[in-house]
Amino acid sequence: MAASTTGKQVGRVKPSRIVDLQQHRDERGCISIAESRWTAGFPIRRVYFLHEVTDGASRGGHAHRELEQLFIAAHGGFTLRLDDGFHQAEHRLDTPGTALYVGPMVWRDLSDFSPDGVCLVLASHHYDEADYYREYEEFLRDSRRQT
């Protein structure tokens, strides 16, 4: 199944977008490829993954000032809800051949993980707490100020 999308394009600094990963398939299986320059569009400096997410739990619940990310459903599926302070969108990722690019100044919530869901994230920067918006109201104030 391909990624399903509802809502408008989100991200006023760099709009979110679905990215089809390069894939090579033969009788042995399939390999999906994500590269910094060609796929992500940013240097990949950090890789992490979310797994064994408790039923009904959500992850994310924050935005970034500068960080760019590529989200991939490495196994199973999950839903990303995006909000740039003006527009919202919802994306269901459930195939490892499709990724979702999310740029800076976009609030993200991840939820509805399948029991076997694994969310692989490629990030443009190393972890930096100063890059995070943890409070939605502060994020809204700053995102709407950038008009």
Task: Tell me if 110 sits within 8 A of 79, measured CB to CB.
Answer: yes
Residue 97 CA to its chain's centroid (Å)? 14
| Candidates 24, 51, 62, 125; catalytic one | 62
Cα distance between residue 82 and residue 71, in whole Å: 12
Compute the CA torsion angle 16, 35, 44, 143 (nearest 10 deg). Answer: -10
Is 62 in the active site?
yes
Q: Known catalytic residues?
A: 62
